[in-house]
Each structure stands twice: as structure tokens, then as C-alpha cells.
Amino acid sequence: MAEARLFSKARGRLDQLAWLPRLAWLRARGRRRVALSSYPRSGNTWLRGLIEAATGQASGSIYSDAVMRRGADGVVIKTHAWDMHRYTHAVLVVRHPFDALPSYFHYRQNIWKETGLTWETFLLGAIEEWRGHTARWLAAGRRMPLYRLRYEDLLAEPQEELAKLLAWLGFDLPPERVAAAIDHNALEKMRARHPRLGGEFFRRGLSGVGVEEFSEAERGLVRERLGDLLAELGYDGGEV
């Protein structure tokens, strides 16, 4: 176990060193490599669709996605990993854990077919994963330009929030084009474009309903372990 950890750490360090000259080459030419980072089930695919529809440019992904399969590079690059050393800029999409964690649990059960996975077994590890992912990417904002976007804000005000993000990415687009991108990526239309997985992959797209799946004790644990990050992200009192 100790040897495996050392090997993983060494491999990560080598990866960081390998990316240093690549990023220096991009920066010297005024070019960007932009991460679209999120904890799983936080709106990453939806936002990729919005950006693609608005800009006419393909996004990328570090994964071989079943939905929106693309190449490794693009106008933004989907990642759930802690691979911030591979980018010059980043967009961090955050969804409240009261919604993101239940959605990820159902995803693993229904898409990954982890039928033996129980909520109790899943939850403790997921809380710490959410914390690790969010804390590390927020910290990365001290070393590179980082745009924060809450899923709840994008859901409530998609026209305004998408326009602001696109401007940060360097796209000054007319409001009607932004509106068309939002309409193109409405939940039912995204489901229809992916009939094999759409109903399970694009479940509800709601905010504030997942908390019902937590017991009072589990809600308290989330607030205890994640309260500082939730406050930093503007979630009043740790609530959605």
C-alpha cells in the first residue's frame, strides 16, 4: 500500500513536470488551456453543451464520455480530477452537496450498475471527495485565473450567468445567441438527443430537492465537514 502511494505520488510529480513546458509555450503565445472542473453530477455536461452551442466550438474531455464524446482538447476541457497543473485557466462549477451527492449516488447505481452500493457506504467517502475536490480547485485559483460558477445560479439565471462566463472566456456574443444556446440545451432536448442514456444521465436538473435523501444526522455531518467551503462559496448557512 505504501509503495503504491509513493508510486502514485511520483507519477503525479512527473506529470506536473511534463506539463510545465507545454503551458509555458501556450502562455508565451497568449493562448489558453481551460479546465471545466466540477465534482461529478454538478452540471458539467450541461455547461459544455451551452458553451458549444453558443460559441460553435467543441469542448474537450479527459474522459471517453458516453454522452458528448469529444477529443481531449477544446474551448474548455471537462475534468473531475485534481489535474489543475494541466491548465492555464479554469472554470470551477460547484453544486451544493445536498444535490450533487444524491445525484452521483443514483448515477453510480443506475449508470455504473453498482447495485450493491448503499447510501450509507457511499456518503462518508463522497463528502470527503467533494471537500477535497472543491478545496483543491479553489486553492488553484491562487496560481491561475479561476472562474467560479454555482450550478444554482446558472439554473436560476441562465442568460445572465452564461453571458458572464462566455465573456470571461473571451466571447462577446449577442443575447439572442446566448438564448438560443440555452433553448438548445433544455433538459428534455438533451434527453432526446441521447435516447440510450438520456433519462438516467439527465435526471431532474433541479436544485434544493436532494436534501430530502439525507437524515438529520447526515445533514449535520455535511454542514460540519463542508461548512467552511459552503460559506466561502456563498451558500448561506450551508443551505442550497
Dump pLDDT digits (tens) for 143-179. 999 999 999 999 999 999 999 999 999 999 999 999 9
What residues contact residue 143 under an 8 Å CB cut-off, 6+ apart?
Answer: 84
**Of 98, 222, 102, 89, nearest in space to 148 by CA:** 89
Rounded percentage of the chain residues whose pLDDT exceeds 70: 89
Boundaries of every domain in the chain: 25-238
Specify whether the CB–CB gap between 59 and 37 falls below 8 A.
Answer: no
Distance between CA atoms of residues 98 and 209, nearest Å:
8
What are the tens digits of pLDDT across the range 141-153? 999 999 999 999 9
Q: Return d(Cα 59, Cα 77) in angstroms, integer.
A: 6
Q: What is the mean pLDDT of residues 183-193?
A: 83
Task: Examine the pLDDT at 200 and tell me if it is beyond 70.
Answer: no
What is the C-alpha to C-alpha distance for residues 146 and 127, in angstroms, rounded to an integer? 23
25-238 is classed CATH 3.40.50.300: yes
Q: What pLDDT is stored for residue 26 in this prediction?
A: 94
Q: Which residues pair with 34 in a beta bridge?
A: 89
Instruction: Give per-residue pLDDT as tens, 106-140.
Output: 889 888 788 889 999 999 999 999 999 999 999 99
Q: Which three cell numbers stand for residue 107?
A: 448515477
This prediction has a pTM of 0.88
pLDDT for the residue 105:
94
